[in-house]
Amino acid sequence: MTPTMIWHRLKLSVIAGTIVILGLLAVGTLLLAHRSLVTTRHAAEAELQRSAQGVENALNRQLLQIHGALAAIRPMFAAAGVTASSPAANELLRGFNLQTIAYRDMMLVAPDGAILASARPRGALRTLPVATQPTSIQPASMVGPVESPVNGDWSLYAVRAVPGWGGVVAVADVPVLSLMKILAETGLAPGTRIRIERPTGQLVASLPHDELAIGEWRHGALGTRPPDGKAFVAANDKGEPELAVVRSSLPGDLRVILTTDLADALAPWRRFRDRLAAAAALGGTLVAAFAGALLIALRQREKVDSERARATAVLANAVEAMSDGFALWDGDDRLVACNQRYREMFAITAPFLIPGARFQDIMRASTHAQQLPLPGPVTEEAVAERERWHRPENSPVERQMSTGRWVLMTDRRTADGGVVAIRTDITALKAVQAELAEANLRATEAAAEAQRQNMVLIEREGRIRFLAHHDDLTGLPNRVVFRERIGKSLHQAAELGEKMALLYLDLDRFKDVNDTLGHPVGDALLRTVAARLTNCVQAPGAVARLSGDEFAIISIGPQQPEAATELAGRIIALLGEPYSALGHTISVSVSVGIAVAEAAWTDADTLLKQADLALYRAKAWGRGTLCVFEPEMDVHLRARLEMEQDLRQALAQDQFELAYQPIFSVVTGAITGFEALLRWNHPRRGLVDPSIFVPLTEDSRSIVEIGAFAMRQAVADIAALPGDLKVAVNLSPVQLAFGDIIGTVEAALRDSGLPPARLECEITETALFESEQTSLAVLQRLRDLGVRIVLDDFGTGYSSLSRLRLLPIDKIKIDRSFVLDATEGSASAAIIEAVTVLTGRLGIATVAEGIETEEQWALLARTSCAEAQGFLLGRPLPIAEAAALARAGAGVPVALAQRFSPLA
């Protein structure tokens, strides 16, 4: 039987025993509860029966007392010599009535029901509300219950015939409430109810008192039950079980019924049952908890044994799977275990590796078998030396075997005095170490070379860092560093309570020096100018070269611009002296613009712009002059800043809109497409000229977002037009350099569904050639998408017919300046004709813009120009009007088309 089966059976035994104990506990609890129920019910029945007997006895005493009083009337009247109808009868009855409280009034009633005499004043009561004729009553009986017509009280009437009085009867008025008060004093248990009924089931009285139910008849189990005085269970009016006892009065004309709710009678048993159940539940819980704890303990023990067995198996497998030889020796140096790898490494010793064999005996046998390569003769000393390898303080020992292989012998002492022996084949490691030694030598040499190269890189990096902040030609700080120094100087001047001025310098006629004497002479001149400025200012970092022949100087002093003006005068005089550069004597002058930081909000960019404005004013006055910035010069600057601020909000506030100028075919006169023109409709400025705001958007690079809007809107608008009409959208060089124009175009085409062939992207030749490599790459990718490329303003920039065939363009647009000057026989007309012929042979279409007169249209119609646009043919229109024009199939006005037809 496996250990798992043993543990399983043991756990099943615990579970079965627990179930048996819990079952016995449950059965015992149920039996005890049932016995308690029977005992409690018997006790409740006995108590109710005793109470019923007590109530019956009290009722009988009252009835006997009443009937005794009625029977004594005749003797009492005879002794007093009083008749029933005499006035003395009332007094006699009154005195007799005071002797008992069993009834309220004693009356003598004639056969016709008239009251002859009474112990109490009769008031309005002259006759009884019940029949008292001798024919309808027994010699003694009870009548009622009857509700008094005078006060509404319920009463029983005890009636007894008076013999010899001619049918006169004696009547005792017994109030129901008085009767129940006497019965309530019998000491009933809480919750016990009393009913006094007539044998017919008519209710006479009840406790608790129920005024409305008195006199009512009830039919049911209680009414038919014999008055045997034994308790029984019946259902009340609500259908709930109750315990009841029925007894009869001695005369037999009244029944006494006592009831109590069965639930109340069994309340002690329920409390006992609940306590018993709680005790049983607690006991069961304890038994189950004990059994659970026992099962958990057994499970833990089983788990520990299982883990121990698994760990033993894992350890054995791990030891066998080791790539090293492993052997374990006990405190007496006897072999405990070893793996197969150990036996393979020491094959001759393997027969002697028997668990329990002593280390010395195995070493001696292996020494004789020449397994160990110990130096010297095989002696006991050699065995003792090998035995010392067991000591923990010794380091691992490397030994070369007779076969030439190397073995690392590692022996470590255990806590109980044993030894763990690890044997590792390190032959490959030795070979690698030899290779590493050789590699280390080569690495040392390489490190020396790398260190030499690193020094070169450090020098170059230092040079790069210097060039990032300084001008390479003059060694002066460049624009980036100088802007930072302006900010620091502004802060320094504010702390000192002084003012800062910025001098902006520009050499006059420096371009002439470069053009005539060459760039090397110009460079030498710039270095000399930088040296003179540095010597003149003598403030570290106060002089910078901004670009080309432009320099800037920071001046801080309490009196500005006086100090800056004085410094500018000295600089003008100093730089005006002749220069000797590469064998040439040169004379140049310098113009200076001065700006003073007057306001706390002034920043470096503003100060540079103000100084630049002042410089332009100085150069306008002549060479070798200076000019101090005045606030009125800032009007233009502030207007520019305000417009830049408005431009930042224009796109978000939907102030931009597109107008569409139709483009016509010169041959057919039909509309071939539209050029989308950006319009800025400012709420205060109105329509702003594109030539004013477009350069600002390019300077701030907001043209990227605005251009993306124009592209999306134009493509979406034209996609809704019929036919194959095209749309031309202008691209800024800033969009090509800094925007994702490819992604913008792809998204616009994808969202609108417009075929790429219906989209034309226009770029000016000036922008194309300023950043030719970047622009050409982007334009080629657009052309790969299927978009047509149009070269705008052809002939106004760097036009080169030899390069035209190399550009990825589909169409060129002849600039309006040529069209404006085009008259019959003019140079512009010849240029237009030549361009259209040349591009036609290259497979490049042409479009002329700016057609404003019929003469221009007539001249153009005689060329091979494909398309034309201008105010004469059609002005820019909103998209709704442009769409209506396209849907109407409108073309060039008929008169123009017939008069200047290319076919004519």
pLDDT tens, 867-894? 999 999 999 999 999 999 888 876 776 4
Question: pLDDT class for 97, splitting at 50, 70, 90?
Answer: low
Residue 580 in contact with residue 532, Cβ under 8 Å?
A: no
Domain 1-321 falls in which CATH fold?
A: Beta-Lactamase (3.30.450)
Q: What is the pLDDT of residue 494?
A: 85
Q: Which two tokens stand for residue 807?
A: 């550009």
pLDDT exceeds cutoff 90 at 860: no
Number of Cβ within 10 Å of residue 328's Cβ equals 17
The set of long-range contacts for 829-837, using a CB threshold of 8 Å and a minimum separation of 24, is: 829/859, 831/795, 832/859, 832/860, 832/863, 832/865, 833/863, 835/794, 835/795, 836/863, 836/864, 836/865, 837/863, 837/864
Instruction: Please give the model's pTM, rounded to 2 decimal places.
Output: 0.41
Bridge pairing between strands 759-764 and 656-665: unpaired
Q: Which two tokens stand for residue 668?
A: 């057919």
Range among 193-197, 205-209, 264-268, 859-863 with highest mean pLDDT value: 859-863
Please list the residues that pair with 656 across neighbouring strands.
680
SS3 assignment, position 227: coil
Q: What is the pLDDT of residue 797?
A: 55
pLDDT tens, 789-799? 998 877 665 55
> Cα separation of 822 and 30, whole Å?
123
Q: What is the pLDDT of residue 284?
A: 82
Number of Cβ within 10 Å of residue 307's Cβ equals 11
Cα–Cα nearest to 623, from 594, 591, 592, 588:
591
pLDDT exceeds cutoff 60 at 757: yes
Question: pLDDT class for 748, splitting at 50, 70, 90?
Answer: very high
Residue 70 in contact with residue 172, Cβ under 8 Å?
A: yes
pLDDT tens, 250-281? 776 778 888 887 777 777 887 887 888 888 88
pLDDT tens, 729-739? 999 888 887 88
pLDDT exceeds cutoff 90 at 898: no
Dihedral angle, C-alpha 603, 604, 609, 614, nearest 10 °? 100
Q: What is the pLDDT of residue 802?
A: 58
Lowest mean pLDDT among 152-166, 605-619, 771-785: 152-166
> Cα separation of 102 and 522, whole Å?
151
Q: What is the pLDDT of residue 762?
A: 93
Question: pLDDT class for 501, splitting at 50, 70, 90?
Answer: very high
- DSSP character at residue 342: H
Looking up tokens 């007169």 gives 853
For the chain, give me the number of helices (H) and strands (E)?
29, 31
Q: What is the pLDDT of residue 699?
A: 72
pLDDT above 70: percentage of residues in the chain: 85
Average pLDDT over residues 507-514: 81
Q: What is the pLDDT of residue 770?
A: 53
pLDDT exceeds cutoff 70 at 663: yes
Q: What is the pLDDT of residue 391?
A: 58
SS3 assignment, position 761: strand
pLDDT exceeds cutoff 90 at 709: yes
Does domain 642-898 fall under CATH 3.20.20.450? My reply is yes
Phi and psi, residue 603, nearest 5°: -120, 180
Residue 812 in contact with residue 836, Cβ under 8 Å?
A: no
Q: What is the pLDDT of residue 9?
A: 80
Average pLDDT over residues 422-447: 84
Cα–Cα nearest to 251, from 50, 58, 67:
67
Average pLDDT over residues 169-174: 78
pLDDT exceeds cutoff 70 at 899: no
Contacts of 671 (CB under 8 A, 6+ apart): 662, 663, 664, 665, 725, 885, 886, 890, 891
SS3 assignment, position 243: strand
Architecture of domain 477-629: 2-Layer Sandwich (3.30)
477-629 shares the fold of 323-425: no
Looking up tokens 């600089």 gives 571
Looking up tokens 């800024």 gives 732
Question: pLDDT class for 29, splitting at 50, 70, 90?
Answer: confident
If phi > 0 it is left, if psi is from -120 to 50 it is alpha, else beta; for residue 137 that is beta
> Cα separation of 33 and 39, whole Å?
10
What average pLDDT does the structure give for the chain?
Answer: 80
Direct distance between the N- and C-terminal alpha carbons of the chain, in angstroms, rounded to an integer: 118
Number of Cβ within 10 Å of residue 624's Cβ equals 16
> Cα separation of 563 and 559, whole Å?
6
More confident residue, 394 or 472: 472
Q: Which two tokens stand for residue 321?
A: 């799977």
pLDDT above 90: percentage of residues in the chain: 18
Average pLDDT over residues 555-583: 90
pLDDT exceeds cutoff 50 at 901: no
Question: Where are the domains positioned within the chain?
Answer: 1-321, 323-425, 428-469, 477-629, 642-898
Please list the residues that pair with 127 across neighbouring strands.
114
Sheet (strand 406-413) strand order: 335-338, 325-329, 419-425, 406-413, 397-400
Does domain 323-425 fall under CATH 1.20.1730.10? My reply is no
Radius of gyration of the chain (CA): 65
E-strand stretches of 280-349: 325-329, 335-338
E-strand stretches of 183-237: 193-197, 203-207, 232-235
pLDDT tens, 345-369? 877 777 888 888 888 788 777 777 6
- Burial status of residue 334 (CB atoms within 10 A of its CB: 0-12, 13-18, 19 or more): middle
